[in-house]
């Protein structure tokens, strides 16, 4: 019980999202209502964009979001969506197809890229030097944090997150009950996060100041 309460703490303080009536929204879009289009695009501009960015990276993100939006609205206006209440399920299907198609395109183009000209530039993942520097520093701090927590907590984190052992296996091999495992994992992860926050704040600000100071001047 307590483990569940601990695990749920982070989400309970925020209000539930405003969920429009999907059937009404689909109706508006079928009638080419501008408000309906705007409402649907609001969902795309945040949620779908977020999902596409996580799956495919930031390259061409605006175009992908827009293409997906067009596919969905045109499908709605053609009457392809038979269950309006399942609008988000339909959106998800379209988005996942877009992701799969883009991955396939990337794989095929890279395969042919090797055949044509090895001198062609490989597409950038989108991260800039500052982000890379921050990421490296965060990882260095994360390692320090991991070393500073207790050995049992560390073992649980390694078994669960790195080796992806099941909770049952971990409980059996470490002699823990399920409740003990959930509590210890939650505590270990939370301590890791708290320590990381303090260390990142203490170390990252001076690090960033030094980073900007050492950058070569522009021009």
Partner 1 sequence: MQLSGSHATEDQLENYTMGRLSDSEVSELEEHLFICPTCQDAWAASEAAIGHIRHAASMYLREAGSEARPWYRTLFVMPRLAGALSLAAAALLLAVGIQQVTTHRSAAPPALVMLQSMRGPEARLNATVAAGKPFVLSLDLTDLAQLPSYRLEIVDADGHSVFQSSAAPRQNRLQAAVSRGLPGGSYYVRVYSSAPELLREYELEVAH
> Residues 4 to 63: which contact partner 1 by CB under 8 A?
4, 7-12, 14, 16-17, 19, 43, 46-48, 50-51, 53-58
Task: Give strand ranges (E) for the chain.
Answer: none
CB of 115 to partner 1, least distance (A): 7
Q: Which is nearer to partner 1, 15 or 218 (by Cβ)?
A: 15
Contact call for residues 48 and 54 (beta carbons, < 8 A): no
What is d(CA 153, CA 54) in angstroms, rounded to the nearest whole number?
Answer: 30
Judged by CB under 8 A, which of 21, 125, 172, 194 binds partner 1?
125
The continuous run of DSSP H or E covering 32 comes out as none
Q: Residue count at the site for partner 1 (CB under 8 A)? A: 65
Distance, CA of 44 to CA of 34 (rounded, Å): 15
> Tell me, what DSSP letter sits at residue 128?
-
Q: How far apart are alpha carbons 56 and 47 in whole angstroms?
A: 14
Query: Per rule CB under 8 A, is residue 174 in the interface with partner 1?
Result: no
How far out from the chain centre does Cα 191 lie?
A: 22
Using CB under 8 A as the criterion, what x/- string covers residues 59-98 for binding partner 1? Answer: -----------------------------xx-xx--xx--
Return the range that interacts with partner 1 (CB under 8 A); candidates 27-35, 153-161, 170-178, 208-216. Answer: 153-161
Pick the closer one to partner 1 by CB: 9 or 80: 9
* Complex with partner 1: residue 17 or 219, whichever CB lies closer: 17
Q: In terms of Cα–Cα distance, which of 148, 154, 142, 147 is closest to 188?
A: 154
User: Cα separation of 87 and 219, whole Å?
Assistant: 51
Q: CB 16: neighbour CB atoms within 10 A?
A: 5
Q: Which of 24, 105, 126, 210 binds partner 1 (CB under 8 A)?
A: 126
Minimum gap (Å) between residue 163 Cβ and partner 1: 8
Query: Closest CB to partner 1 among 1 and 122?
Result: 122
């Amino acid at each position: 019980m307590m483990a569940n309460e601990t695990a749920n703490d982070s989400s309970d303080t925020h209000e539930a999202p405003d969920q429009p009536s999907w059937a009404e929204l689909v109706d508006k879009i079928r009638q080419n209502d501008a408000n309906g289009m705007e409402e649907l695009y609001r969902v795309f501009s945040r949620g779908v964009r977020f999902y596409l960015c996580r799956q495919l990276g930031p390259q061409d993100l605006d175009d992908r979001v827009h293409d997906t939006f067009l596919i969905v609205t045109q499908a709605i206006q053609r009457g392809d969506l038979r269950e309006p209440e399942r609008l988000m399920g339909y959106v998800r299907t379209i988005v996942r197809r877009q992701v799969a198609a883009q991955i396939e395109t990337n794989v095929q183009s890279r395969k042919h890229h090797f055949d044509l000209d090895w001198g062609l530039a490989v597409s950038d993942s989108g991260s800039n030097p500052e982000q890379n520097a921050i990421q490296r520093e965060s990882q260095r701090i994360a390692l320090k944090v991991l070393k500073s927590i207790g050995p049992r907590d560390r073992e649980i984190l390694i078994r669960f997150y790195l080796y992806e052992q099941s909770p049952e296996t971990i409980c059996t091999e470490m002699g823990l009950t399920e409740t003990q495992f959930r509590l210890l994992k939650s505590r270990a992860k939370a301590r890791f996060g708290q320590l990381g926050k303090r260390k990142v704040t203490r170390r990252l600000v001076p690090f960033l100041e030094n980073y900007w100071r050492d950058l070569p001047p522009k021009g």
